[in-house]
């Protein structure tokens, strides 16, 4: 035993993280990510907001019923209907948690709730008592707490504990607070709530000013013992506290921190890649901990120091987050068993049927590329295992382009079991490809963003394309990978259009 207090890691990637524009996940994707979070050994998984839609309810229920060794939480407003639906979704889980929230700031109470302080106080207590008829594992969040009258928050929290809440969450909903202020707020709660010893203080910080991790650490220093966070810092607007940054700060600065987490840090990098693959939201290269440049050293002085002693410029060992520099390189002569071992070492699990599909694609790509590494396999896994059900499938694509040729693309798709084809001219080969696809499907969606990156080095590298499109107010992200950039772009566009279909069906 280390003698340090344990910080409860409450992961809300599946709920708040999914609120990043275009980051919607289907049931299969959420379930795979939940299994990865169990490998990370998070303490609580907030699986969703069940009353939001039938699809969200089914996703939460599926996770609660089938994911073990972790608490599953469901979000609910202070409404009897919300609480009843949330409980129906999570009741099959191990020690399921109901997470209720109600705003406590004057601006929210006046303009959003149209309620007085006394009404908010009464509703919070009444709702928690109703939730307590189902479970003793109840969390209450005072939305916009950091901009609330702190004395009023103390009154609400005292009543919440009296009604049955065992975790009290103090969110910085707008990402407004500064670390010193936030630490003082948490300290005030501990000193001014008579029954605070009966509950755990939690924080949920947003990153609008880039201070979410710093604010969470300040809260911990002053008595908070649960932190709500997301993989890669996903979330509304600028996102939430990045779990990987918080955990590695606590681990790396153990000399100054009186706390620890139970996170198995070797699963951090694979979890980050999985989230990026599922959502189609790339991690910026200079992102702390999991960015592509986080352990890269280009400066000659740095390289010289690294060669002599790693700790001259690295405060963390890449292996501690699951980033191995000694990956087994696979080629066209590698067998199915070696492929499966590599996939499992990367933190994924696949069925025999999925492995067969991945192996077939692996062999096709291995004929083109001499060597394949983890990123290549992840691209295949995205296409063959993690991709959402497809209403539209690319069958063939032919493109003619050049400095003296009018860019033309011929596309054949399978739509509802029937193959159709179309050719179009564009200002470039990708524009022509997208026009052909749009004409075949009949979509009027607008392309908002397009990016292309090389997955690995070399001229034979796979290209990874990410697009963001908008259709009738819905924004979705699509991702595709292929050694041919134009094919990768077509896959990404179709992936986004398939996500639109999924959303329209209530997924």
What secondary structure, in 3-state letters, does 439-501 show?
HHHCCCCEEEEEEEEECCCCCCCCEEEEEEEEECCEEEEEEEEECCHHHHHHHHHHHHHHHHH
For 214, the token pair is 């710093």
Cα distance between residue 270 and residue 115, in whole Å: 45
CA angle 103, 108, 114 (to 5 degrees): 100
Query: What order do you get walking across the sheet with 392-402 strand by strand?
Result: 392-402, 405-415, 418-425
289 inside domain: no
Average pLDDT over residues 182-198: 98
- Domain finish residue from 334, 367, 386: 386
Buried b (16+ CB within 10 A) or exposed e, 62-101: bbbeebeebbbbbbbbbbeebbbbbbbbbbebeebbbbbb
The C-alpha atoms of residue 331 and residue 482 are separated, in whole angstroms, by 17
User: Between residues 311 and 77, which one has the greater pLDDT?
Assistant: 77
Q: What is the pLDDT of residues 369-385, one digit of tens each?
A: 766 777 778 778 776 77
Where does 323-351 have alpha helices with state H?
Answer: 336-345
Q: Average pLDDT for residues 338-358, to the nearest whole number?
A: 81
Instruction: Give me the CATH number covering residue 235.
Output: 3.20.20.70
Q: Which residues pair with 76 in a beta bridge?
A: 100
Same domain flag for 418 and 382: no
**Amino acid 225: pLDDT:** 98
Examine the domain organization and report whether 25 and 90 are in the same domain: yes
Which pTM does this prediction carry?
Answer: 0.83
- pLDDT on residue 298: 46
Structural domain contains residue 290: no
Residue 378's nearest CA partner among 495, 481, 499, 477 is 481
Query: Based on C-alpha coordinates, what's the Rg of the chain?
Result: 24
User: Cα 159–162–166 angle (5° rounding)?
Assistant: 100
At residue 457 the predicted structure's pLDDT band, cuts being 50, 70 and 90, is: low
Residues 6+ positions from 327 with CB-CB distance below 8 Å: 373, 374
Residue 420 has pLDDT above 80, yes or no: yes
Question: Does residue 428 sit in the same domain as residue 462?
Answer: yes
Token duo for residue 288: 């702390």
In a domain, 286, yes or no: no
Please give the pLDDT value at position 377: 80
Does the structure show a pLDDT above 50 at 294?
Answer: yes
Contact 241, 213 (CB under 8 A): yes
309 and 334 share one domain: no
- Is residue 104 a part of any domain in this protein? yes
The answer on 273 and 204 residing in a single domain is: yes
Q: Confidence band (pLDDT; 50, 70, 90) for 305?
A: very low
Residues 228, 336 within the same domain: no
Is the pLDDT at 325 greater than 60? The verdict is no
Q: Are residues 370 and 240 in the same domain?
A: no
Q: Does residue 285 lie within any of the structural domains?
A: no
Chain centroid to Cα 355, Å, comes to 25
Residue 230 in any domain: the answer is: yes
Spatial CB neighbours of 191, under 8 Å, sequence gap ≥ 6: none
Q: What is the pLDDT of residue 479?
A: 85
Q: Give the pLDDT score at 302.
A: 41
Whether 88 and 167 map to the same domain: the answer is yes
Is 157 found in the same domain as 41? yes
What's the pLDDT at 295?
77
Bridging pattern class, strands 392-402 and 8-11: unpaired
When divided into structural domains, the chain yields a total of 4
| In a shared domain, residues 258 and 312 | no
Range of lowest pLDDT (3-7, 23-27, 316-320, 337-341) = 23-27
Residue 428 lies in a domain: yes
Co-location of 343 and 257 in the same domain? no
CATH number of the domain where residue 411 is located:
3.30.160.270
Question: Which of residues 140 and 307 earns the better pLDDT score?
Answer: 140
Residue 301 has pLDDT above 50, yes or no: no
Helix axis angle, 268-279 relative to 243-252, nearest 10°?
170
State the chain's mean pLDDT as an integer.
89
d(CA 389, CA 438): 19
Identify the domain containing residue 315 by its residue range.
295-322
- Do residues 467 and 353 share a domain? no
């Amino acid at each position: 035993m280390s003698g340090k207090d344990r910080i409860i890691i409450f992961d809300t990637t599946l709920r708040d993280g999914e609120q990043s524009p275009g980051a919607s996940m289907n049931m299969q994707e959420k379930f795979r990510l939940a299994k990865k979070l169990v490998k990370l050994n998070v303490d609580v998984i907030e699986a969703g907001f069940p009353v939001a839609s039938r699809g969200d309810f089914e996703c939460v229920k599926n996770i609660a019923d089938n994911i073990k060794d972790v608490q599953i939480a469901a979000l609910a407003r202070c409404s009897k209907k919300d609480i009843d639906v949330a409980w129906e979704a999570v009741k099959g889980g191990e020690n399921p948690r109901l997470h209720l929230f109600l705003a406590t700031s004057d601006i929210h109470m006046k303009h959003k709730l149209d309620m007085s302080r006394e009404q908010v106080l009464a509703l919070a207590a009444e709702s928690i008592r109703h939730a307590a008829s189902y479970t003793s594992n109840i969390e209450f969040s005072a939305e916009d707490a950091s901009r609330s009258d702190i004395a009023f928050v103390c009154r609400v929290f005292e009543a919440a504990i009296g009604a049955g809440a065992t975790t009290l969450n103090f969110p910085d909903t707008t990402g407004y607070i500064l670390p010193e202020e936030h630490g003082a707020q948490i300290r005030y709660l501990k000193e001014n709530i008579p029954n605070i010893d009966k509950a755990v203080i939690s924080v949920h910080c947003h990153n609008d000013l880039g201070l979410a991790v710093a604010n969470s650490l300040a809260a911990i220093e002053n008595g908070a013992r649960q932190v709500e966070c997301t993989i890669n810092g996903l979330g509304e607007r600028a996102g939430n506290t990045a779990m990987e940054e918080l955990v590695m700060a606590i681990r790396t600065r153990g000399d100054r921190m009186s706390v620890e987490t139970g996170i198995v840090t070797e699963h951090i990098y694979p979890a980050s890649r999985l989230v990026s693959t599922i959502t189609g939201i790339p991690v910026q290269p200079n992102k702390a901990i999991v960015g592509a440049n986080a352990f890269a050293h280009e400066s000659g002085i740095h390289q010289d120091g690294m060669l002599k002693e790693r700790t001259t410029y690295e405060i963390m060992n890449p292996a501690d987050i699951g980033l191995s520099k000694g990956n087994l390189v696979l080629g066209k002569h590698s067998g199915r068993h070696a492929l499966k071992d590599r996939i499992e070492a990367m933190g994924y699990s696949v069925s025999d049927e999925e492995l067969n599909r991945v192996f077939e694609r692996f062999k096709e790509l291995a004929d083109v590329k001499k060597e394949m590494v983890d990123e290549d396999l992840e691209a295949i896994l995205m296409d063959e295992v993690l991709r959402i059900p497809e209403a539209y499938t690319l069958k063939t694509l032919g493109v003619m382009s050049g400095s003296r040729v009018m860019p033309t693309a011929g596309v054949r798709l399978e739509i509802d079991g029937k193959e159709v084809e179309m050719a179009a001219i564009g200002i470039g080969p990708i524009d022509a490809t997208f026009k052909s696809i749009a004409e075949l499907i009949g979509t009027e969606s607008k392309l908002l963003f397009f990016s292309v990156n090389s997955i690995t080095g070399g001229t034979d590298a796979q290209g990874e394309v990410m697009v963001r499109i908008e259709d009738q107010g819905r924004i979705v992200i699509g991702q595709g990978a292929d050694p041919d950039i134009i094919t990768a772009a077509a896959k990404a566009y179709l992936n986004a259009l398939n996500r639109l279909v999924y959303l329209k069906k209530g997924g």
